[in-house]
Amino acid sequence: MISRNMAYKFDFALEILAPSLVFVAVNCSVWFAIYDYNSLDTLNGFTLEEMLNYQAWNLVVTYMIRSHRSSSLSDDIRLGKITSFLVYPFEFWRYYYSSYFGFQMIQVIVAIITILVLYSLGLITNLSPSSIINGFLFSLSVGVLWCTLEFLAGTAAFWLEETWVFRYVLELTAVLLSGAIIPITFFPEMLQKILVYTPFPYLGSIPIQIFSGTYENDILLAYFSIIIWISIFSYITKIVWKKGVNLYTGAGM
Query: Residue 200, CB half-sphere, CA atoms under 13 Å: how many?
Result: 22
> Does the protein bind other proteins through residue 33 (CB under 8 A)?
yes
**32 contributes a contact to other proteins by CB under 8 A:** yes
- Closer to other proteins at the Cβ: 188 or 252? 188
Going through 81-185 in order, the beta strands assigned E by DSSP cover: none
Site for other proteins in 59-118 (CB under 8 A): none
Cβ at position 140, least distance to other proteins in Å = 24
Q: Is 25 in the site for other proteins (CB under 8 A)?
A: yes
User: What does residue 182 show for φ and ψ, rounded to 5 degrees?
Assistant: -130, 145
Between residues 14 and 133, which has the closer beta carbon with respect to other proteins?
14
Nearest to 209 by CA among 200, 217, 198: 217
Dihedrals φ, ψ of 47, to 5°?
A: -80, 170
- Residues 56, 49: Cα–Cα separation, whole Å: 10
37 near other proteins (CB under 8 A) = yes
| Dihedrals phi, psi of 203, to nearest 5 degrees | -85, 0
> DSSP per residue over 23-42, as a string?
HHHHHHHHHHHHHHHTT-SE
Q: Which of residues 174-213 bind other proteins (CB under 8 A)?
A: 175-176, 181-182, 186-188
CA atoms within a 13 Å half-sphere pointing along the CA-CB vector of 87? 6
- Supply the minimum distance, in Å, between the C-beta of residue 237 and other proteins: 20
Of residues 91 and 162, the one with the C-beta less far from other proteins: 162
Minimum CB–partner distance for residue 231 and other proteins (Å):
27
- Grouping H, G, I as helix, E, B as strand and the rest as coil, residue 76 is helix
Output 5 or 237, the one with its CB closest to other proteins.
Answer: 5
Residue selected from 72, 173, 217, 231 as contacting other proteins according to rule CB under 8 A:
173
The CA-based angle 70-75-79, given to 5 degrees, is 155
Instruction: Give the interface with other proteins as residue ranges (CB under 8 A).
Output: 8, 10-15, 18-19, 21-23, 25-26, 29-30, 32-34, 37-38, 40, 43-44, 160-162, 165-166, 168-169, 172-173, 175-176, 181-182, 186-188
